[in-house]
Structure 1
Amino acid sequence: MTPIITLTTDFGLKDYFVGTLKGTIYKELSDAKIVDISHDISPFNIQECAYILENAYKHFPEGTIHIVGVDSEPTPENQHIAVLVNGHYFISANNGVIGLITSEVQPEKVVELNIPNPSHGSFPVLDVFVQVACHIARGGTLEVVGKPFDGLKELREFAPSATDNGNKIIGSVIYIDNYGNVVTNIHRNYFEAYRKGRDFELNARTTKIKKIHNKYSDIINFDLERSQRKGAGDLLALFNSAGYVQLSIYKSDLNTVGGASTLLGLDYRDTVTISFV
């Protein structure tokens, strides 16, 4: 049974790039199963790519091969690598995406790709990554296409930090989703490790929030009359399905009334802090 091959890129769908990848894979493996995770990653946005890929790959069966087409041009500091993590194969440039995914999971194997007669054109995802993916899909090993590598790039700048003797967490916005929800890099586990049962205040620009919900509808007190309840258009913070602190406008529409990102004036890398009291 041929394993699934996933594609995560910043190519968009206007151009021929995604179709070319799929066509080439099918030429090599006529029974291939290809799944698009996303082609709408913001150009060269490593953190966004890692966030989407980290929260998607876990839902695929072990043995799945993930091609990562973001910032993939090889340089002496951006090597091409293949990594085995949690039974999944990732083929990427060493740009920090895989380092973010493996920040809490030890990879089983990491190799720097060294395939024979590689094409050094402007489309390395096609020229190199697809070749390696098809090799693995046929049952090939990483040792054949690469040599052991211990320089996996880690981007610590994207991690939250605790200051003031653990009384404050300083995080940042790592992703704005399709609804305009603002996702921070503060995970529930990190938050709880420093909270220790204390009250807190979350600050994002001029916004202050003192409660984090577990789901969107938690904002509604169904014991109140409808006219007295919070509801559509109201701001809330919650732990999203990936476990990260997220700011949302309940039942928002980014294309009409706006979402949390536009209404709060928050964008990628903006600071969000949590102070414990």
Structure 2
Amino acid sequence: MAIITLTTDFGHKDHFVGAIKGTILNNLPEVSIVDISHAISPFNIQECAYILKNAYRSFPIGTVHVVGVDSELSPENQHIVVLVDGHYFISANNGVISLITSEIKPEKVMEVNIPNLNSASFPVLDVFVQVACHIARGGKLEVIGKPFDALKELKEFEPRITNDGKTIIGNVIYIDNYGNVITNIQRSLFEAYRNGRDFEVIARTNKIKTIHNSYNGIINYNLEKGQRKGPGDALALFNSVSYLELAIYKSDQNTVGGASTLLGLNYRDTVTINFL
């Protein structure tokens, strides 16, 4: 059975997601439609890229991924299809695929070129859905597009190495439902420059000198409960997809706040690692 996933910033209040799903089912009644997320912050390409990169690998090879963020067609925002890592991504050329293609070379990149197709105000429905259904039926990319070689990248969010390799300067790229702060510093980069040295993670006025592998890694179970770190304490860890994350242990974003509010960190803010 063909699988089509949806990742958008449409939310659930309006008719957009329902119209997309209905149109897909009218074309392919047997298709399986999976929502990755419709809660991407409006026009937030980096947030969309992070979620998409870390979700798509869980799907079977051949899955078609429709990406509806900043999808309006323009001379600088072409509609494209990218075949990479055995998956098809239908998106605007806004950099959203670059977190994937920076690590894995695309097999094909095509610019969508379907004559007499109206894509004015709702391109995800009018264009992306048509392309997705064509691919899900087994159609060739060459039928709906032409080769394209100007894939955009999100270079502004690459970590920087300074101070002769003693400092990594990263940025906040995502804040999750718990208020945990995810940076663009990956474990592989950290290990490549650490060379066994001690370090400190600096986020505004906060300094953390240990990076854990789990959230409860902050707890020293050999200590009496009253002497342990625990709920409300800040910690750093490499999360399940190997990005450096800052969290407040067992905090609630909706009550006392999470790492983003308690540490004063927002999207694009700087997080630094100094090797000592």
Separation in 2, partners of 1:252, 1:241 = 19
1:161 and 2:160 are equivalent in the alignment? yes
Q: Secondary structure at the match of 2:189?
A: helix
Give the AA of the match of 2:227.
Q
- Tell me, what secondary structure is at the counterpart of 1:131? helix
Consecutive unaligned residues in structure 1, runs of 5 or more: none
- Distance of 1:100 and 1:54 partners within structure 2: 7
- How far apart, CA to CA, are the structure 1 residues paired with 2:174 and 2:154? 16
**Offset of 1:101 from its aligned partner?**
2.0
1:32 Cα deviation after fit: 1.1
One-letter code of the match for 2:149?
A: D
Runs (4+) of structure 1 moved beyond 2 Å? none
Q: Name the amino acid aligned to 1:35.
A: V
Deviations 1:41-77 (A, max 9, x none): 0000000000000000000000100000000001111
Could you list the runs of 5+ residues in structure 2 that have no partner in the other structure? none
1:60 equivalent in structure 2: 59
How many Å apart are 1:204 and its aligned residue?
A: 0.5
What SS does structure 1 have at the residue aligned with 2:97? Answer: helix
2:48 is matched with which residue? 49
Partner of residue 221, structure 1: 220
The structural deviation recorded for 1:116 is: 2.4
Q: Percent identity of the aligned residues? A: 74
2:12 maps to what in 1?
Answer: 13
Q: Is the 8 A contact 2:79 2:92 kept in 1?
A: yes
Q: How many residues align?
A: 276
Note the alpha carbon deviations across 1:177-211, whole angstroms, 9 max, x for none.
00000000000001111111111111110000111
Shift of residue 33 of structure 1?
Answer: 0.3
Alpha-carbon separation, structure 1, partners of 2:31 and 2:72:
25
Whether 1:125 aligns to 2:154 is no
TM-score normalised according to structure 1 size: 0.99
Q: Secondary structure at the match of 1:107?
A: coil
Alignment-derived partner of residue 72 in structure 1: 71
CA RMSD of aligned residues (A): 0.7
Question: Could you tell me how far 1:143 is from its partner in structure 2?
Answer: 0.9
Aligned to 1:209: 208
Specify the SS of the correspondent of 1:97.
coil
Alpha-carbon separation, structure 1, partners of 2:241 and 2:98: 18
Q: Distance in 2 between matches of 1:100 and 1:59?
A: 16
The match for 1:234 is: 233
Query: Is 1:139 the counterpart of 2:138 in the alignment?
Result: yes
Deviation per residue, 1:155-185 (Å, 9 max, x gap)? 2101101011111001000000000000000
Partner of 1:191: 190
1:25 is matched with 24
Is 1:179 aligned to residue 182 of structure 2?
no
What do residues 194-242 of structure 1 show as CA deviations (whole Å, max 9, x unaligned)? Answer: 1111111111100001110000111011111111111111110000011
Q: Report the Cα offset of residue 102 of structure 1.
A: 1.1
Give a deviation string over 1:93-129, Cα, whole Å, max 9, x none: 0000012221111011100000121113200000000
1:248 corresponds in structure 2 to 247
| In 2, Cα distance between equivalents of 1:179 and 1:95 | 28
TM-score normalised per structure 2? 0.99
One-letter code aligned to 1:109 = K
- The residue type paired with residue 200 of structure 1 is F
- Tell me if the contact between 2:6 and 2:67 (Cα under 8 Å) persists in the aligned partners: yes
* Aligned counterparts of 1:39 and 1:120: Cα–Cα separation in 2: 21
- In the TM superposition, what whole-angstrom CA distance separates every residue of 1:114-155 from its partner, at most 9, and x where no partner exists? 012111320000000000000000000111111111100012
Question: Secondary structure at 1:185's aligned position in 2?
Answer: strand
Match of 1:261 in 2: 260
Contact preservation (8 Å) 2:73, 2:120 = no
Partner of 1:111: 110
- One-letter amino acid of the counterpart of residue 133, structure 1: A
Distance 1:203 1:159 in 2: 18
Which whole-Å CA distance do the structure 2 matches of 1:196 and 1:47 have between them? 30
